Amino acid sequence: AGWFRRLLHKPKSSSVESLKSSHSASSSPSSSSSAKSSSSSPGTSLATSSMPLSPVSTPDISASDSPRWDKSYDVCICHSEGDMELVEELVSYLEGQPESFRCFLQLRDAVAGSAVVTELCDAVQNSHCWVMLITPGFLQDPWCRYQMHQALAEAPMANGRTIPVLKDVDRKDYPRELRNIYYIYMALKEKSFRQIRDTVMRYLQELCRSSAKRME
């Protein structure tokens, strides 16, 4: 009986205390979930302990020192005469954007009395981007193909300057000279206009970034 009473009054061991504390900790959802997340997802703890990344600044293409102003036009529209109505809508859309894109439209901007070849070559050289509105009329117009070849000679790599836009043309009739360049298929006019605008914008922003890096 004496040894039984001593056993009842014996202080609790540390193992029992640790078991009790671990049990109370496991009963707390917040502590268990945090322990699980820190052990199973090391990337989370690393991300929270690291400094937040600063957002990438977007170049201001309209700044006074922007390389955008090195050329007379942002976009040269190459098209057949039969597509004039659609092209006028596109030019109106681009020029009406907040960036006020400068468009070369041959029938509007060509100098009276100058040679056609001279005007086409000057338009290509003095523009950052070239939109090729490839329609059945485009494929049959030798001047359109000439301007296309001039643009490819100016920038043969697919760097965003040449923007082919297909309308009412099968993929098999897509000019072989442009096969290494992705095109915009004009099914919905409004969507295609936005894609053209975004492509021009992307090129001008990249142009500004490259210019800024060279000056650093």
| E strands, the chain, in order | 73-78, 103-104, 127-134, 162-166, 184-185
Position 32 scores a pLDDT of: 39
Q: Which two tokens stand for residue 64?
A: 């006074």
DSSP category for residue 185: E
The one-digit pLDDT tens for each residue of the chain (216 residues) are 555 555 555 554 444 444 344 444 444 443 334 333 333 333 333 333 333 433 457 889 999 999 999 999 999 999 999 999 999 999 999 999 999 999 999 889 998 899 989 999 999 999 999 999 999 999 999 999 999 999 999 998 878 899 999 999 999 999 999 999 999 999 999 999 999 999 999 999 999 999 888 887
Q: Which CATH class is domain 72-215?
A: alpha beta
Q: What is the pLDDT of residue 216?
A: 75
DSSP conformation class of 163: E
Q: Where are the domains of the chain?
A: 72-215
- Alpha-carbon separation of residue 137 from 9, 20, 83, 85, 125 (angstroms): 104, 85, 8, 13, 24
Locate 179 and state its tokens: 């096969």
Give residue 56's pLDDT.
Answer: 55
The answer to whether 158 and 129 have CB atoms below 8 angstroms apart is no
